[in-house]
């Protein structure tokens, strides 16, 4: 019998040294493939699809703008005497056949491009919160343009926040055009990741596109790499078009901007109370949007944005942190995969008013289920509280840790010849040290296979006490200040910024002159 020579364990010093080395490969990345979770059976998906087709053919949607009526009736929809547009199943199937299934959402920096094919998963922000959560004082205050810019700057530094959709409304900006332009500017000068935003009225789209052309360098450069998408609530559930939002959508499509077709009914209020029924309505509404988009511009990049929310039926209030919400989102992700379409839905919402244990379980439950179900775009994944009424910078930072763990769940368990190799077990058990702490496999895998929290504390009670009993929120606040005390990596070149300020009513303070030197524009 061969006796193996004991190996040096390496011990704590070796592990610490290994942890300090740069990551050879990251354990989790944007576009991690999900799809292992399937709360709906294949036969369920067929039934949901046919129910949505029946709803479109029999009930249809009301309140399309005249331009939309012309576009969709020319494609084959019918306008009834009741003013509702109805969609024959054959028309829907034809538009599904020509829909764009290879959408890539661009970042201003190409390193942040998002491939939405298959079941690739990306987490990011979204929402229209009107309050900022101040966890230090447990208070809520009106959200401002500076808060939005700071959210973009923070998101830009967080590895597990893959895109920024506007999470808050700048309540200190008056006038719809000024709000739309300042929102766009604040986001685009805060991050080079993909940005999503909405527009209050059609008249905002032209000036917004002009601003984006200036940032990109030209209209041609913008159209080649559109780094902003329009989050468009084109429907008012149940089963009505949002007339003005549809006109916004048409203008954005003509301007080369990708669109998110967002249907946000609330189960038990503006959508059926059954989870299956809420999914059917959201799917039907988004299929109508798909017809609209492809009748106007075949193959235009559009995200199938089924965003059904949940009501607490005892009160009628929204319950975004519920298990039912997590199931709705996972079911919607399955429908996106069923159609082979890039899709997005909401997860990570906390009903809790502050970053506490309730927020943790609410955010983790739906974020993990969304990722496991293969949802391409997980919106509202971090920072959202009070059922979308509040946003918190510290919670956004803590959400980066939380989403890292969710992404590790999405990555799953690797079963291969390498991971099943018994050599480390033989070397450890047969004359070895009796543990794996210093083995070559442990040291090589500790960075590539394991995700470590940035702020989450894993120390022993003794170490925790010796370290001054670090507080999670306080540490998040300190990291927030450190980020915001560093110049934005997305700031514009001084001449571009000056030209934009001369042309548009930008209300954010100009960058500090000592920080004005900016990288070349993408």
Q: What CATH number did the domain enclosing 141 receive? A: 3.20.20.480
Q: Is 11 within a domain?
A: no
- Cα angle 194, 393, 382 (rounded to 5 degrees) comes to 60
Q: What is the CA radius of gyration of the chain?
A: 25
Quote the CA–CA distance of 332 and 142 in Å, as a whole number: 33
Out of 78-82, 177-181, 308-312, 503-507, which region has the weakest mean confidence (pLDDT)?
A: 308-312
Domain interval for residue 205: 97-411
| pLDDT at residue 517 greater than cutoff 50 | no
pLDDT bucket at 9, cuts 50 / 70 / 90: very low
Does residue 144 belong to any structural domain of this protein? yes
Nearest to residue 96, comparing CAs of 252, 379, 304, 408?
Answer: 304
Give the model's pLDDT for residue 414.
Answer: 94
Each residue's pLDDT tens digit, 178-198: 999 999 999 999 999 999 999
Mean pLDDT of the chain: 93
Residue 318 lies in a domain: yes
Q: How far is CA 105 from CA 197, 253, 301, in A?
A: 13, 14, 9
In a domain, 255, yes or no: yes
Q: What is the pLDDT of residue 516?
A: 44
- Rounded to an integer, the average pLDDT of 36-51 is 97
pLDDT at residue 264 is higher than 60: yes
d(CA 421, CA 441): 10
State the average pLDDT over residues 436-454: 90
Predicted confidence at residue 11, as pLDDT, reads 53
User: Domain total for the chain?
Assistant: 1
Residue 92 lies in a domain: no
| Residue 521: partners with Cβ closer than 8 Å, 6 or more residues away | 108, 215, 216, 217, 492, 493, 496
Instruction: Give every CB contact of residue 520 below 8 A, 6+ residues apart in sequence.
Output: 493
Distance CA 494, CA 496 (A): 6
Look at residue 512 in the predicted model and tell me its pLDDT. 74
Residue 14's pLDDT is what?
53
In a domain, 470, yes or no: no
Q: Which of 240-244, 311-315, 423-427 has the lowest average pLDDT?
A: 311-315
Percent of the chain with pLDDT over 70: 93
Task: Report if residue 42 sits inside a domain.
Answer: no
Choose between 515 and 128: higher pLDDT. Answer: 128
In this prediction, residue 10 carries a pLDDT of 47
Given a cut of 50, whether residue 2 has pLDDT beyond it is: no
- For residue 234, tell me if it sits in a domain: yes
Residues 107-151: tens digit of each pLDDT: 999 999 999 999 999 999 999 999 999 999 999 999 999 999 999
């Amino acid at each position: 019998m061969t006796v193996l020579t004991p190996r040096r364990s390496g011990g704590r010093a070796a592990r610490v040294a290994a942890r300090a080395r740069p990551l050879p490969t990251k354990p989790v990345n944007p576009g991690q493939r999900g799809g292992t979770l399937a709360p709906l059976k294949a036969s369920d998906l067929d039934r949901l699809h046919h129910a949505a087709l029946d709803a479109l053919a029999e009930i249809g949607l009301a309140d399309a703008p005249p331009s939309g009526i012309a576009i969709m009736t020319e494609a084959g929809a019918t306008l009834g005497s009741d003013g509702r547009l109805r969609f024959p199943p054959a028309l829907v199937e034809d538009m599904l056949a020509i829909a764009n299934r290879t959408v890539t959402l661009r970042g201003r920096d190409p390193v942040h491009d998002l491939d939405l094919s298959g079941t690739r998963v990306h987490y990011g922000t979204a929402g229209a919160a009107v309050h900022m959560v101040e966890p230090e004082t447990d208070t809520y205050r009106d959200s401002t343009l500076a808060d939005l810019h700071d959210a973009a700057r923070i998101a830009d530094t967080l590895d597990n926040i893959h895109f920024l959709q506007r999470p808050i409304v700048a309540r200190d900006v008056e006038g719809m055009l000024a709000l739309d332009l300042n929102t766009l500017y604040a986001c685009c000068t805060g991050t080079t990741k993909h940005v999503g935003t909405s527009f209050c009225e059609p008249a905002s789209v032209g000036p917004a596109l002009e601003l984006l052309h200036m940032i990109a360098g030209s209209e041609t450069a913008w159209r080649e790499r559109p780094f902003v998408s329009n989050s468009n609530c084109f429907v008012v559930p149940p089963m009505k078009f949002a007339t003005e939002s549809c006109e916004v959508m048409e203008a954005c499509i003509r301007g080369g901007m990708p669109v998110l077709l967002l249907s946000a009914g609330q189960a038990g209020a503006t959508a059926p109370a059954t989870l299956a029924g809420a999914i059917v309505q959201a799917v039907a509404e988004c299929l109508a949007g798909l017809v609209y988009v492809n009748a106007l511009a075949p193959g235009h990049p559009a995200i199938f944005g089924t965003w059904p929310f949940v009501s607490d039926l005892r009160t009628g209030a929204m319950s975004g942190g519920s298990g039912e919400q997590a199931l709705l989102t996972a079911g919607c992700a399955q429908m996106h995969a069923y159609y082979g379409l890039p899709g997005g839905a909401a997860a990570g919402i906390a009903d809790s008013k502050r970053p506490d244990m309730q927020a943790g379980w609410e955010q983790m439950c739906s974020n993990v289920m969304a990722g496991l179900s293969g949802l391409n775009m997980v919106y509202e994944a971090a920072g959202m509280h009070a059922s979308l009424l509040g946003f918190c910078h510290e919670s956004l930072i803590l959400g980066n840790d939380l989403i890292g763990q969710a992404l590790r769940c999405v990555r799953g368990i690797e079963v291969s010849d390498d991971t099943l190799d018994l050599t480390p077990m033989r070397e450890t058990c047969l004359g070895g040290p009796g543990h794996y702490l210093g083995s070559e496999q442990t040291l090589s895998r500790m960075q590539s296979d394991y995700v470590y929290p940035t702020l989450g504390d894993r120390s022993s009670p003794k170490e925790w006490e010796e370290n001054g009993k670090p507080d999670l929120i306080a540490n998040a606040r300190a990291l927030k200040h450190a980020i915001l005390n560093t110049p934005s990596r997305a700031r514009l070149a001084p001449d571009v910024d000056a030209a934009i300020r001369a042309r548009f009513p930008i209300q954010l303070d100009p960058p500090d002159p000592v920080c004005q030197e900016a990288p070349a524009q993408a």
